Amino acid sequence: MTAPQPSDHFDNAPPPVLLEPLAEADQRRNGLGTAALVVGASGILLAALVVTGPVGALLGVAGVVLGVLGLRRVRGGQADNRTASVAGVVVSVVALGVGAATSVLLVQSVREHSEPKTVAAPTAPPPTGPPITPQSTPDRVKEKPVEIPTVAPGTPVTVHERRAEYVVTVSDIRPNVPAPNQFDRPTDGGVFLTAQVEFAVSEAADPIPVFASATRFKFVYADGTTNNTAHAGFSIPGRKLDTLTLAAGQKTNGMIVFEVDPNRLAGARIQVDDRGGAPAGYWTVG
């Protein structure tokens, strides 16, 4: 009897697989170094403000502790992030210094506001001497109102205005001027009255123009009622006063026409107004 031959079944089996141990790099504990860097950076941000300076200083202390622990792990082979740990320690030390400085400022500020303010004691009043009698001041002289001149025909009147000075002359006043034709005649039983007018601006006047126009004249009766220059009488012979603006050294002349009541000429006057419409001068008529 022959001995059994070993089966070649195991000869064709695959070789055994050898399991390698896990890499030590996957088991590194680098959390402390990273945490030190983050805590230190946060501490600098908070330490820069006076109000949160103490909090930043505390975070700086915590970051230093975490960084030192992280360096111990590096030395023990449990971590490999030496750079992060060293940076965490440095940043945390900076946060601690800045936080300490701002904390001192905060304490000083609190003390200044909490200390009661001392009020100076009232000083004794100075010795009083004999009573001082106020000196009597003379009463202010009241300014007299500017008198508006009333002159005879042909007499010039100087008009003084702000930044302007000019001379107005009314002459050759003629009442009862006949109507030139049946179409150009006075109304309501009145008559035409004409006068020659001249405006002359001073050479020394400022460059503000002077307005020369027949509308600046009024016919004033003795009772104070007035008539403006007439719109009629345009065909009466003679050169009418044109409406002009005169500069320094310039002058103009012409005729003005009124429609007046012939029964009220006694005591009447011709009035010229200044630039603001106030009376500036009068010329007698009768």
Same domain, 260 and 179: yes
Residue 143 resides in a domain: no
Is residue 274 located within the same domain as residue 180?
yes
Looking at the fold, whether 159 and 250 belong to one and the same domain comes out as: yes
CA of 28: how far to CAs of 80, 88, 89, 146, 166, in Å?
A: 7, 18, 20, 108, 107
What CATH number is attached to the domain comprising 217? 2.60.40.1240
Same-domain pairing of 41 and 93: yes
Residue-wise pLDDT tens digits, 154-210: 999 998 887 778 999 999 999 988 888 888 888 888 899 999 999 998 877 566 788
pTM for this predicted structure: 0.48
Rounded average pLDDT over 120-137: 60
Domain membership flag for residue 122: no
pLDDT above 50 for 23:
no
Does 16 map to a domain?
no
Do 95 and 63 meet the contact criterion of CB atoms below 8 Å apart? yes
Question: Does residue 269 surpass a pLDDT of 90?
Answer: yes
Residue 210 belongs to some domain of the structure: yes
Torsion 187-277-234-199 (CA) sign = positive
Residue 95's H or E segment, with its range, is helix 82-114
**253 and 194 belong to one structural domain:** yes
Query: In the listed set 88, 113, 138, which residue is the last one of a domain according to the structure?
Result: 113
What is the predicted pLDDT for the residue at 255?
94
What's the average model confidence in pLDDT over 267-271?
94
Q: Are residues 159 and 109 in the same domain?
A: no
pLDDT digits (tens, 9 = 90+) for 217-233: 999 999 999 988 877 77
For residue 222, how many other CB atoms are within 10 A of its CB?
13
- Angle, to 10 degrees, between the axis of helix 53-75 and the axis of helix 82-114? 160
With contact defined as beta carbons under 8 Å apart, do 52 and 43 qualify?
no
Q: Domain ends where: 60, 86, 113?
A: 113
Q: Rank 89-98, 130-139, 177-186, 272-281 by mean pLDDT and report only the highest.
A: 272-281
Please tell me which residue, 8 or 175, carries the higher pLDDT value. Answer: 175
**Strands (DSSP E) found in 51-155:** 150-151
Dist. CA 233–CA 179, nearest whole Å = 7
- How many domains are there within the chain? 2
**Is residue 260 located within the same domain as residue 196?**
yes
Q: Which domain holds residue 40?
A: 29-113
Residues 276, 159, single domain; the answer is yes
Instruction: Give yes or no: residues 106 and 161 share one domain.
Output: no
Query: Three-state SS for 243?
Result: coil
At residue 124, the pLDDT reads: 59
How far apart are alpha carbons 52 and 43 in whole angstroms? Answer: 9
Q: What is the mean pLDDT of residues 8-31?
A: 54
Same domain membership, residue 167 and residue 77 = no
In single-letter form, the type of residue at position 210 comes to V
121 in any annotated domain: no
How would you write 143-181 as a 3-class SS string? CCCCCCCEECCCCEEEEEECCEEEEEEEEEEEEEECCCE
Residue 10 reports pLDDT greater than 50:
no
Is 113's pLDDT higher than 80? Answer: no
Residue 77 has pLDDT above 90, yes or no: no
The answer on pLDDT for 90 being more than 50 is: yes
Q: Which of 98-102, 111-115, 140-144, 257-261 has the lowest mean pLDDT?
A: 140-144
Q: Are residues 68 and 154 in the same domain?
A: no
Quote the CA–CA distance of 169 and 161 in Å, as a whole number: 17
Q: Are residues 185 and 262 in the same domain?
A: yes
Q: In the numeric block, which tokens belong to residue 137?
A: 């001041």
The amino acid present at 113, given as its one-letter code, is H
Assigned domain for 72 exists: yes
Averaged pLDDT of the chain: 79
Is the residue at 206 inside a domain? yes
